[in-house]
Chain A
Amino acid sequence: MSATTLTPSAPVQAAPRGPSFAERATGFLKACFDGPLNTAITLGCLAVLWFAVPPFWAWAVTNATWNGNAQACREAGGACWAFVREKFWFSIFGLYPFEERWRPATMITILVAMVIASTIRRFWTKWLFLAWAIAAPVMWMLMQGGILGLPYVQTRQWGGLTITGVIAVFGLALGYPLAILLALGRRSELTLVRWFCTAIIECVRGVPLISLLFMAAIMLPLFMPQGVTIDRLVRVLVAYTLFTAAYMAEVVRGGLQAMPKGQYEAADSIGLSYWQKMRLIILPQALTITIPAQVNTFIGLFKDTTLVVVIGVFDFFTTLRAALGDPNWLGFPTEAYLFAAFVYFVLCFAMSRYSQNLEKTLRPESR
């Protein structure tokens, strides 16, 4: 391995208003072909591209079927995007009653609007917390019904991308306050409080999420008195919230520890109580500087919503897999998996880019 291939901080992006196109092109070619090793690497990469891209393109675009039925797909021989089209709404709404589909659709709309609003820094005030606190129960009641003349739809009939969104959002909305409490508790001077919070955080982080899901699905009902049952989706949310809280708590703790001691002392010196100090001085700063880390954690948690498959909840991915069992559309798993991968990728990649941008914009201010 030559030293040149390992030069740190390789400039990935071109400088603004840099060299001309011709200069960049020659620079690129030079970087690709200086020395025998580099040339070999370049040729290797080109070979990989040559063997991967044209066949994939032929399958996914040239020979693909966008309209029609399974028979048309089999005749064309390429990707069967018609299958994805056919099952698209099913993968969004799952088995939610057909006539009531406007309700999950509205819920998703509210959800998307709230998420977009939350990404705008101007809205980062306590009102955002309040908005979420109101929106979350409203979304739940809209889905569940049973009031205001909406027919009751039990959570077992929820499914698809809707339930993925519900789990991720409610897990975060419920887990976030808990995470703050746990993080504060872990840094508390009260020994018992500290032990208790540390034990919860470490125990939850030390075991796989699916063991927590099993615990919620199988053990939690055993812990309830006879005759009291907790809705299955709520049990899933209990496990997922606990999981979110434990991971977020460590991120928040990082923020608390990064606060200069002077901030604490200044707050004490003007006579603020513990909660006033935390609420007005420490937490706003500690939470803000850790937002990129929070987003990164949330990406992981969002991908983990797929694990609910182990206890039979039909989330987006599982719903798509269930659609593979349609006797009229047998044999298109690759299309289904690619579509699912695409949706998760778009959502997660957008979040990670957002977090990277935030990191850049937040840095000069917080130091």
Chain B
Amino acid sequence: MNWKMFAAAAAAVVTFGAGDALAGRDLDQIRARGNLLCGVQGPSNPGFGVPDAQGRWSGFNVEICRAIAITIFGDPNRVQFVPVTTQSRFPALSAGEVDVLSNNTTWTLTRDSNVNRFNFPAITFYDGQAIMVPRRLNVTSARQLNGATVCVQPGTTTELNISDFFRANNLRFTPVVIADLDEIRRAYDSGRCDVFTNDFAALAAQRTLLTRPADHVILPERLSKEPLAVTIRQGDEELTNIVAWTTFALIDAEEMGITQANVEQIAGSSTNPVVRRLLGVEGNMGESINAARPDFARQIIRTFGNYGEIFERHLGVNTPLGLERGMNNIWTRGGLLYAPPAR
């Protein structure tokens, strides 16, 4: 047995990480490795990240990661997708098994604090806990759910929120608590529960997998605020900037009306300095955030389109998920998407 191989094996299974990251350390590692390790919800999350039979991933969260790869490498294919579960995502990120989490993780104080040492450069999706019921129950508000049986995933804030909601409204409920999301969806689908609760987007995704998706409605109440953001480790300002400005570029492009179809034409003809800076026609935006090329935003939009286009392609009303833009619309159209200007 070759001792070098042994040492390599040992080093691979036990990782010794330094306590605190130095500025740019993570980014240097990613560059040296030649690809970005992107944690996505496994085994699959319809609309957000789904592997095909060859293991190729597609979805909203997947394209966010590919866009980040464009910013870092100028190449959307230099990403390796790593499936993580709700319970394993944070250990995986802390341990360096992934560089970024793009898996519907909620930005909260504890996660952002010095305790857990994570960083949330930009919000990619505004969500909130919601309740789904079969249409035939004729329920229009969560307050009519006294005595209902509720399917809920354990060990998350979801479980505590629903319990608090029923207590606060003086209602009783019977919980059915199953850890596996697929199993709990099957339980709800078969009628084991009257109610299925989860984050709104996740519920919409799960609804597409029900036997008759159209027979189920998601009630208007939101039990919590869930801003979903790409998550990285604390301490790498350069990676923070890259993730943040990749997201902002997508949002700004939509606000300015730059789409996959017209990006080249606008880059060639626009006289608006903000647009010209965003698309790398003038200024040094790419250089200032350490992107692989000055026109990274142009390349991203050419490849995937702006935020709205990505949203509509994977989550929008014409997809099985059928989500309205709602809060996830540009601020000028009544949504919450409001990105800093590229100046």
A interface residues (Cβ-Cβ under 8 A, vs B): 86-87, 89-90, 93, 95-98, 133-134, 137, 140-141, 144, 146-147, 152, 154, 156-157, 221, 226-232, 234, 309-312, 314, 319, 321-322, 324-327, 330-331, 333
Contact A312 B95 (CB under 8 A): no
Q: How far is the CA of A229 from the CA of B12 in the complex (A)?
A: 10
Contact residue among B12, B15, B183 (Cβ-Cβ distance under 8 Å from A144): B12
State whether A325 touches B16 (Cβ < 8 A): no
Other-chain contact of B97, A90, A96, A98, A154 (Cβ < 8 Å): A154
- In Å, the complex CA distance between A327 and B206 comes to 10
Nearest B residue to A225, CB-CB:
B16
Q: What are 27 pairs between A and B in contact, CB < 8 Å? A: A90-B55, A95-B55, A137-B5, A141-B9, A144-B9, A147-B5, A152-B12, A154-B97, A156-B82, A156-B84, A157-B83, A226-B19, A228-B15, A228-B16, A229-B15, A229-B17, A229-B91, A231-B14, A232-B91, A232-B92, A232-B97, A314-B83, A319-B43, A322-B42, A322-B44, A325-B46, A325-B182
Selected from B6, B46, B80, B95, the residue in CB contact (under 8 A) with A327 is B46
Query: Hey, which chain B residues are within 8 Å of A326, CB to CB?
Result: 44
Q: How large is the interface on B (under 10, 10 to 19, 20 to 34, 35 or more residues)?
A: 35 or more
Given contacts A146-B12, A154-B82, A229-B94, contact A314 B55 (CB under 8 A): no
CB neighbours of B227 from chain A (8 A): none
The reply to whether the CB of B54 lies closer than 8 angstroms to some CB of chain A is yes
B136 within 8 A of A: no
Interface contact A141-B55, CB-CB below 8 Å: no
Q: Which 3 A-B pairs have the closest CB atoms?
A: A322-B43, A229-B95, A312-B85
- Whether A98 touches B43, Cβ cut-off 8 Å, given contacts A230-B13, A234-B13, is no
Q: Please measure, in the bound complex, the distance between the C-alpha atom of A232 and the C-alpha atom of B82, giving whole angstroms.
A: 13
Report whether A95 and B8 are in contact in the complex, using a CB–CB cutoff of 8 Å.
no
Which of B53, B82, B85 lies in contact with A157, CB distance below 8 A?
A: B82
Bound Cα distance from A310 to B9, whole angstroms: 26
Residues on A with beta carbons closer than 8 Å to the beta carbon of B88: 232, 311-312
- Interface majority SS (helix, strand, loop, mixed), chain A: helix
Out of A96, A134, A322, which one reaches B1, CB within 8 Å?
Answer: A134
Separation of A333 and B43 alpha carbons in the complex (Å): 16
Chain B contacts for A310, CB-based, 8 A: 179
Whether B5 and A330, one on each chain, are in contact in the complex, defined by CB atoms closer than 8 angstroms, is no
Tell me, in angstroms, the Cα distance from A229 to B209 when the chains sit together.
36
B1 and A90 within 8 A (CB): no
Q: Is the CB of B42 within 8 A of A314?
A: yes
Question: Is B283 located at the chain interface by the 8 A CB criterion?
Answer: no
A98 touches B182 (CB 8 A): no
A141 and B8 form a contact (CB under 8 A)? yes
Q: In whole angstroms, what is the CA distance A147 to B2 when docked?
A: 12
Contacts of B211 in A (CB 8 A): 330-331
Question: Which B residues, 57 to 78, have Cβ-Cβ distances below 8 Å to chain A?
Answer: none
B215 interface contact, C-beta 8 A = no
Q: Which residue of chain A lies nearest to B181 when distances are taken between CB atoms in the complex?
A: A325
**Alpha-carbon gap, A319 to B182, bound state (A):** 12
When the two chains form their complex, are residues A146 and B8 in contact, meaning their CB atoms are under 8 A apart?
Answer: yes
Report the bound CA distance from A97 to B56 in whole Å. Answer: 8
Query: How close is A94's CB to chain B, nearest CB, in angstroms?
Result: 8
In the complex, what distance in Å separates the CA atom of A229 from the CA atom of B95?
6
A278 to B180, CA, bound (A): 48
Are A330 and B209 closer than 8 Å at their CB atoms? Answer: yes
